Amino acid sequence: MEDMKPVPMNKKYFTPVVIGLAVLAVNGIIFLLARFAFGIGAVTNLDNQHPWGIWIGLDVAAGVALAAGGFTTAALGHIMHKDKYHAVIRPALLPAALGYTFVAVSVMIDLGRPYYIWHPLIMWNGSSVLFEVGICVMIYLTVLYIEFLPIVTERFIGRVKLPGILQRFNNPLDKFLRILDKGLEKTMFIFIIAGVVLSCLHQSSLGTLMVIAGPKMHPLWQTPILPLLFLMSAISVGFPMVIFESIITSRSFGLKPETPILSSLGSMVAPLLGVYLAFKIGDMVIRGTFVHLTTITAPSIMFTIELLFGVIIPLRMFMSRQVSKSPAGLLIASFLVIFGVFLNRLNNFLVAYTPPYEQQAYFPSFGEISVTVGFIALEILLFRLAVMIFPIVSVPGVSAQKTKYSVRGGIR
């Protein structure tokens, strides 16, 4: 096998696509400012019937699910110790860290009183599912940052060059980075396992979140096994997300996609999706909710799209050898799984939610969509920036430099 080594990407930052994304990001930020100046009601279509909109249903719920690549690859690479996947761990960790950061930001902007976001840390309510999700996400975000730290130390050890008057801090900072690096190396396994446990906990609890809505939720989705379904769908979407991101990144930076690694990642998707599908259909049969599929309503259509295009078709695709051998096939199949989980969260949090006294249906406002799209754009921009600064994307045999960075010479 070729020797792979993560290196910072060396390319021009601004491309036409990047500029387009920047415009979208700015547009989102403008509406965000309006939300803080004039209140949630001024920017969103939320009301007392629909307390949660796409900022929670998509930015938070789907955001958490689609950041599952972080913990699934960590489990595969570090806990199962499959070394060949090490090349995808960093490219999966970065979007997870970014994704969760934006989940936290999305929660903040959706809160009526964002400045009280620290309240759950000292005001506990053990029976609140949201409390558990909140605490888990807070800790997991910290864990993700800790997992990312070695990348930072690797980038800067022996290379700290502060300008001008700050120069005198160069040596102490370098020393600090080395101590940090050594400490992290010895303790990282604690954080990696913690990250997987925390992920399992809040990925599933995110499903429990809507159970309390009881009859307000459409029976096609309302089931006591929602936490299990959420966990299984999050695990299924982890690898497709990594495959998707990896192929897009490779194209964007003009690299060859790491097809062999991605194919073997893809080969694990079918069983995971299959189990998820079995539980989803089994649940439907046991609770007899398939009767709701015989009438054509918005929920029944959305449920069918979710299951057919988001689970069944990609499952069939991932079972085909032809698909898993070609980057294009992998890209499309992965996209469908991502689409399926995205739609599932949207359905659970918004489509299925039918308030008893509904005067008009909820549809996100232009401002809400702008903020959501703006955040996604911002995430992609930051991802691009990060892979150009930090050694994240692995490139085959770029440098023969085998020495570990920590023995790099200090600054003279």
Partner 1 sequence: MTNQSRREFLKTTALIGTAVTGLSSKTNGAQTNQLSEDRMGVLVDTTICIGCRKCEWACKTSHEMETAPLDSYDDRSVFNVKRRPDSKSLTVVNEYLNNETSSLPIDVKVQCMHCDNPACVSACIVGAFSKKENGAVIWDGDKCIGCRYCMIACPFQVPAFEFEVALKPDIKKCDFCFERTKIGKIPACTEICPVEAVTFGRREDLVKAAHHKIKNYPNRYINRVFGEHEVGGTSWIYLASKEFEELAFPKLGKDPAPGVSEAIQHGIFAYFVPPIALYALLGGVMWINKNKKIEQGEEN
CA separation for the pair 204, 197 (Å, rounded):
11
- In the list 1, 19, 127, 403, the residue contacting partner 1 (rule: CB under 8 A) is 127
Confirm or reject binding of residue 201 to partner 1 (CB under 8 A). yes
Residue 41 C-beta: closest distance to partner 1, Å: 3
Judged by beta carbon, residue 128 or residue 300, the one nearer partner 1 is 128
Measured from the CB of residue 133, what is the shortest distance to partner 1 in angstroms? 9
Q: Is 36 in the site for partner 1 (CB under 8 A)?
A: yes
Among 26, 33, 124, 182, binds partner 1 (CB under 8 A): 124
Among 353, 362, 390, 405, binds partner 1 (CB under 8 A): 353
Distances, alpha carbon 288 to alpha carbons 1, 141, 307, in Å: 51, 39, 17
227 versus 340: smaller Cβ distance to partner 1: 227
Is residue 78 part of the contact set for partner 1 (CB under 8 A)?
Answer: yes
| Binder of partner 1 out of 288, 356, 397, 409 (CB under 8 A) | 356
149 vs 164: CA distance, rounded Å: 26
The three-state DSSP-derived secondary structure of 136-195 is HHHHHHHHHHHHHHHHHHHHHCCCCCCCHHHHHHHHHHHHHHHHHHHHHHHHHHHHHHHH
- For position 29 contacting partner 1 by CB under 8 A, the verdict is no
Phi/psi class of residue 64: alpha, beta or left (left: φ > 0; alpha: ψ in -120 to 50)?
alpha
Does residue 360 belong to the site contacting partner 1 (CB under 8 A)?
Answer: no
Q: What are phi and psi of 217, to 5 degrees?
A: -105, 140
Task: Check residue 19 for interaction with partner 1 (CB under 8 A).
Answer: no
Taking every pair of Cα atoms in the chain, the longest distance, rounded to a whole number of angstroms, is 75
Residues 6+ apart with CB under 8 A from 103: 59, 60, 63, 64, 67, 137, 141
CB-nearer residue toward partner 1: 187 or 320: 187
**Which of residues 125 and 320 has its CB atom nearest to partner 1 in the complex?**
125
| By CB under 8 A, residue 48 contacts partner 1 | yes
State yes or no: residue 28 binds partner 1 (CB under 8 A): no
Q: Does 279 bind partner 1 (CB under 8 A)?
A: no
Interface segment toward partner 1; rule CB under 8 A; list 92-100, 210-218, 276-284, 365-373 = 210-218
Q: Is 355 in the site for partner 1 (CB under 8 A)?
A: yes
Q: Does 324 bind partner 1 (CB under 8 A)?
A: no
Minimum gap (Å) between residue 84 Cβ and partner 1: 12
Q: Considering the rule CB under 8 A, would residue 246 count as an interface residue with partner 1?
A: no
How many residues bind partner 1, per CB under 8 A?
66
Query: Shortest Cβ distance from residue 377 to partner 1 (Å)?
Result: 25
Which of 7, 18, 40, 281 touches partner 1 by CB under 8 A?
40
Span from 111-119, 240-248, 287-295, 401-409 in contact with partner 1 (CB under 8 A): 111-119
Return the axis-axis angle of helices 129-156 and 86-110, rounded to nearest 10°. Answer: 130
User: Does the protein bind partner 1 through residue 123 (CB under 8 A)?
Assistant: yes
Contact between 145 and partner 1 by CB under 8 A: the answer reads no
Pairwise CA distance, residues 372 & 379, whole Å: 11
- Choose between 18 and 130: whose C-beta lies nearer to partner 1: 130
Is the separation of the CB atoms in 313 and 269 below 8 Å?
no
Q: Per-residue x/- mask for partner 1, residues 157 to 196, rule CB under 8 A? A: --------------------------------x--xxx-x
Interacting residues toward partner 1 by CB under 8 A: 36-42, 44, 46-49, 51-52, 75, 78-81, 83, 107, 110-114, 116-117, 119-120, 123-132, 134, 189, 192-194, 196-197, 200-201, 204-205, 208-216, 224, 227, 353, 355-357
